[in-house]
Each structure stands twice: as structure tokens, then as C-alpha cells.
Amino acid sequence: MNQFINTIARWLMVFADPRKLLTWPYLLRYVKHWRQYQAKSGDKLSVADSYPCLTDWVSSTPFDPHYFYQGAWLARRVGATQVAKHVDIGSSVLTISVLSAQVETLFVDYRPLKVSLPGLTSIAGNILDLPFPDDSIDSLSCLHVIEHIGLGRYGDPIDPLGSIKAALELQRIVSRDGNLFLSLPIGRERVCFNAHRVHAPISVLQLFPAMKLIEFSYVDDAGQFCEDKSVEAAIGLEYGCGLFHFQKS
């Protein structure tokens, strides 16, 4: 029953975000604060310049556990390897902007990132046909990306084998003894079309037959970070985030 309700809610949100309806009670507080500010400042606020932010009054800072922890995980692992150059395929641009302050970073994305920042180079590239020779990248990351490939969400062609092909392409370009830092949703195996796929933790290992697992961490369903665990520890999750450090043998 809950799964049915969640499905209906996701479809409704395509056309009208029901969460916005919850902001209406906060309008009274907004008007109260408006009047207080005008009274204390002696100035008249302009309605034309108003910018109501109604849902930021919270007791703790909200964040997405998957993206928060995976960025922290990647920065620490790359820093520990002390590589001179790192290549990333399609991860969060906020993570990459910070990582580029630590190590020279080449960012590759299907949709080119048009920025200018010291330590960061960005090029266009397709994760199914990356512009690198075999065994050429010593340090590679791809966070929360391969689960999307082949679903058409980002303008890529429909391909049911998209995640498998993307994994093999990442494996192809990593050098011998090179490192791959990967994250993707883990839990009950399914395709949530056209958002993403979810893989069982054990299945992820099978996507990289030429690589050995160095370390596995994960974010569980409650948003808790579980560091350096066995893959079996994550069995039974519904929608967690698996963090895999692979090395090419």
C-alpha cells in the first residue's frame, strides 16, 4: 500500500509539487516579520522586491545524506592516495569544485561544465565511450552516475544495459593498480524509470570483473554513514548509497 501511495505522489509531483501547499501556514509568520522589520527599520519594504523563503526555519541544517557523505568519502580517499591528477566522470559539480583545490582534476560529463577554475579542467564525454586509452587513468571517480545510464533522463539513448556498459568502460580506462571510487544506489534491485536503477550490493561487485574491492562503505536507509564495512552488512537496504573503492588487478 505504501509503495502504491509513493508512486502516486511521485507522479503528482511531476505536475504540481504538493510540498508547496505546506508553506501557506507560514505566510502569517512572514507577514508578521515583514511588519516587524518595517517598524524597526523605519523603511518601507517593496512588494516588488519581496522574496519569501518560508521553509528555512528549521532546528537543524537539512542535507542529502548520499551526496554529503559521498563527497566527504571521495575527498578523503583521493587525498590519502596522494595522486598528482584525478579524473571524474559526471559526479556532483559541487564535490568536484572542492576536490580540484586538493588535486588537479579533469571533469568529464555528457553535458559539458562551462566554468573557469584553477585546478579544474572540464571536457565533454560519453561514459559509454570515454576519450581515454585502455589502462591510462591512475585515479578515477564516478559518484551517483552509472545508475542513470540508458534511462534517457539526461538526454542519453535508451539502453537497458546502460549501467553494465558504463561499469565496463570505467574499468577499461583505469590503469593497472589504479583506483576507482564509485557510488550508486544500493538496496532492493529494481529500475525506477526514468530516475535511476538500484543494485543489490553484491551485484555491484559483478559489474567489475577485473577489479578487486579495497573498501566498502555505505549510507543506510536512515541516512547514517557506515564506514569500512563488509558488503554483506548492507543487505536488506531499500535505498542506500554504496561507496566502493576498487583497484584494478
Are residues 113 and 16 both part of a single domain? no
Domain encompassing residue 141: 65-248
pLDDT in tens, the chain (249 residues): 677 887 777 777 656 666 667 778 888 999 999 999 999 999 999 999 999 998 899 999 999 999 999 999 999 999 999 999 999 999 999 999 999 999 999 999 998 899 999 999 999 999 999 999 999 999 999 999 999 999 999 989 999 999 999 999 999 999 999 999 999 999 999 999 999 999 999 999 999 999 999 999 999 999 999 999 999 999 999 999 999 999 999
User: Is there a domain that residue 57 lies in?
Assistant: no
3-state secondary structure 97-115: HHHCCCCEEEEEECCCCCC
Q: Are 107 and 113 in contact (CB under 8 A)?
A: yes
Are residues 98 and 13 both part of a single domain? no
Are residues 155 and 222 both part of a single domain? yes
Are residues 100 and 172 both part of a single domain? yes
pLDDT reported for residue 9: 73
Average pLDDT of the chain to the nearest whole number = 94
pLDDT reported for residue 242: 98
User: Is there a domain that residue 22 lies in?
Assistant: yes
- Label the pairing between strands 225-226 and 120-124: unpaired
Are residues 11 and 128 both part of a single domain? no
* Segments of the chain assigned E as strands: 85-89, 104-109, 120-124, 137-143, 174-186, 190-192, 196-198, 211-219, 225-226, 240-248
Are residues 96 and 34 both part of a single domain? no
User: Is there a domain that residue 88 lies in?
Assistant: yes
Are residues 126 and 232 both part of a single domain? yes
Are residues 148 and 30 both part of a single domain? no
- What CATH code is carried by the domain that includes residue 136? 3.40.50.150
User: Is there a domain that residue 58 lies in?
Assistant: no
Are residues 108 and 83 both part of a single domain? yes
Domain count, the chain: 2
Q: Are 220 and 237 in contact (CB under 8 A)?
A: yes
pLDDT reported for residue 98: 97
User: Is there a domain that residue 159 lies in?
Assistant: yes
- CA distance readout (Å), 146 to 11, 103, 126: 24, 23, 11
pLDDT reported for residue 215: 98
pLDDT reported for residue 15: 61
- Label the pairing between strands 240-248 and 211-219: antiparallel
pLDDT reported for residue 8: 77
User: Is there a domain that residue 56 lies in?
Assistant: no
Q: Tens digit of pLDDT for each residue in 192-204? A: 999 999 999 999 9
User: Is there a domain that residue 60 lies in?
Assistant: no
pLDDT reported for residue 19: 65
Are residues 34 and 74 both part of a single domain? no
User: Is there a domain that residue 54 lies in?
Assistant: no
Are residues 201 and 105 both part of a single domain? yes
Are residues 187 and 230 both part of a single domain? yes
3-state secondary structure of 60: coil
> Grid coordinates representing 127?
561514459
DSSP for 7-44, please give it.
HHHHHHHHH--GGGGGGGGGHHHHHHHHHHHHHHH--P
Q: Tens digit of pLDDT for each residue in 98-144? A: 999 999 999 999 988 999 999 999 999 999 999 999 999 999 999 99
Q: Are 127 and 145 in contact (CB under 8 A)?
A: yes
pLDDT reported for residue 18: 66
